[in-house]
Amino acid sequence: MAIERTFSIIKPDAVAKNAIGGVTAKLEAAGLRILASKMVRLSEAQAKAFYVVHKERPFYAGLVKFMTEGPVVVQVLEGENAIAKNREVMGATNPEKAAAGTIRKDFASDIERNAVHGSDAPETAKEEIAFFFSTAELAALAR
């Protein structure tokens, strides 16, 4: 298995409920290394651009409002098979369907306010990392 990088967001609901540590603990316990991490407040334009793939979906406007309601933590995670592993630790989009012990099972409120984002493929991981972190920033943090 290859060492991969993926991109994660601890969403405003999880930050508001003091779950930054709880979420991060589950990521680290799964063998994912936090390569880069920062707290930011998304602008409306950033949230719209980040989730542009969903722009025709009925939940798009609500999703943009939610993602801008408070600070988020954006992270680059590294590890073996990191993209799939992160998706596994996150659990299903709908927390009612998320497996026991997953981040969404333990910290999400509903299908919208679901605690975390994780890239779903190598190409999106690359794009999403570049959306928030410069090459120089990542190079300075590499271990």
Binders of ligand ATP among 18-77, rule CB under 6 A?
54, 59, 63
Is residue 117 part of the annotated active site? The answer reads yes
Location of structure tokens 């601890």: 10
Q: In the complex with ligand ATP, which residue's Cβ is closer, 51 or 143?
A: 51
CA geometry: angle at 86 spanning 139 and 137, to 5°?
15
Catalytic position from the list 26, 85, 104, 117 = 117
Q: How many residues of this chain interact with ligand ATP, rule: CB under 6 A? A: 10
Q: State in angstroms the smallest separation of the CB of 74 from ligand ATP.
A: 12
Question: Taking Cα atoms as reference points, which of 113, 97, 124, 117 lies closest to residue 27?
Answer: 117
From 36-44, 70-78, 111-119, 133-141, give the range in contact with ligand ATP by CB under 6 A: 111-119
